[in-house]
C-alpha cells in the first residue's frame, strides 16, 4: 500500500471536484482522513483473520461498496443552509466516494500484497492494476522514516503526487479560464 501520506493527499485532491460553494477546506480534510480509513483493517491481523479473508487486509474496507457507503457520509459534514438540489448533494457524496475508493485504486498499483477486494461482498477475488509501479509502504512508522522509507516516498511522489499536482493545476487553469469567460 502507499503510505498514509499519499492516501491522504489523494483524498484531499478530490475536494477540487466539489461544487464551488461547498466548504472545500473542511471536506478536503475529511476526504484526506477518509482516504486513509480503509487501512484500519490491519487490526484484523490481531484477531488472526487471514489476509485473504473478505474482512482481512485489503478486503471489505477496500471495496467499492464500502467506499460508496463510507464516502457518502461526506454530506453530513455540510451545513444544511441554502437551497441546494439533489445534484449538488449527489456531487458531494460522489466526491466522498472518490476519496475513499482512491485508497483501493492506489493499493492496486503497488508492487506487493495479494490484491484488492474491490467487489467484496459480491466477489471475494482480489485484483491488481495491469501495471504496479508504486513501491509498497510499511505500516510500521519506524520503517517509513528510514532510507527504505525515502525510496518509497520517491516512488509515491513520482507516481502519485506529481500526477495529482499536474491534474490540480490543469483543473485550476480550466476553472480560472471558465470564470474569465463568464465575465
Measured in degrees and rounded to the nearest 5, phi and psi for residue 127 equal -130, 150
At 5-24, the pLDDT tens digits run 999 999 999 999 999 889 99
Portion of the chain with pLDDT greater than 90, in percent: 73
Does the pTM exceed 0.85? yes
Tell how many helices (H) and how many strands (E) occur in the chain.
7, 0
Q: What are phi and psi of 123, to 5 degrees?
A: -150, 125
Domain boundaries, the chain: 4-181
Amino acid at each position: 500500500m502507499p503510505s498514509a501520506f499519499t492516501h491522504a493527499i489523494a483524498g484531499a485532491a478530490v475536494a477540487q471536484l466539489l461544487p464551488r460553494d461547498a466548504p472545500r477546506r473542511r471536506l478536503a480534510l475529511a476526504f484526506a482522513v477518509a482516504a486513509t480509513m480503509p487501512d484500519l483493517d490491519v487490526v484484523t491481523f490481531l484477531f488472526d483473520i487471514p489476509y485473504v479473508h473478505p474482512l482481512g487486509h485489503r478486503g471489505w474496507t477496500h471495496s467499492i461498496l464500502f467506499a460508496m457507503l463510507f464516502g457518502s457520509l461526506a454530506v453530513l459534514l455540510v451545513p444544511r443552509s441554502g437551497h441546494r438540489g439533489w445534484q449538488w448533494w449527489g456531487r458531494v457524496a460522489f466526491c466522498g466516494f472518490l476519496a475513499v475508493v482512491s485508497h483501493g485504486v492506489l493499493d492496486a498499483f503497488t508492487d506487493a500484497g495479494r490484491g484488492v477486494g474491490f467487489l467484496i461482498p459480491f466477489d471475494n477475488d482480489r485484483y491488481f492494476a495491469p501495471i504496479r509501479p508504486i513501491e509498497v509502504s510499511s505500516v510500521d512508522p519506524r520503517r517509513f522514516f528510514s532510507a527504505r522509507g525515502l525510496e518509497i516516498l520517491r516512488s509515491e511522489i513520482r507516481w502519485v503526487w506529481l500526477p495529482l499536482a499536474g491534474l490540480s493545476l490543469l483543473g485550476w487553469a480550466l476553472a480560472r479560464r471558465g470564470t474569465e469567460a463568464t465575465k
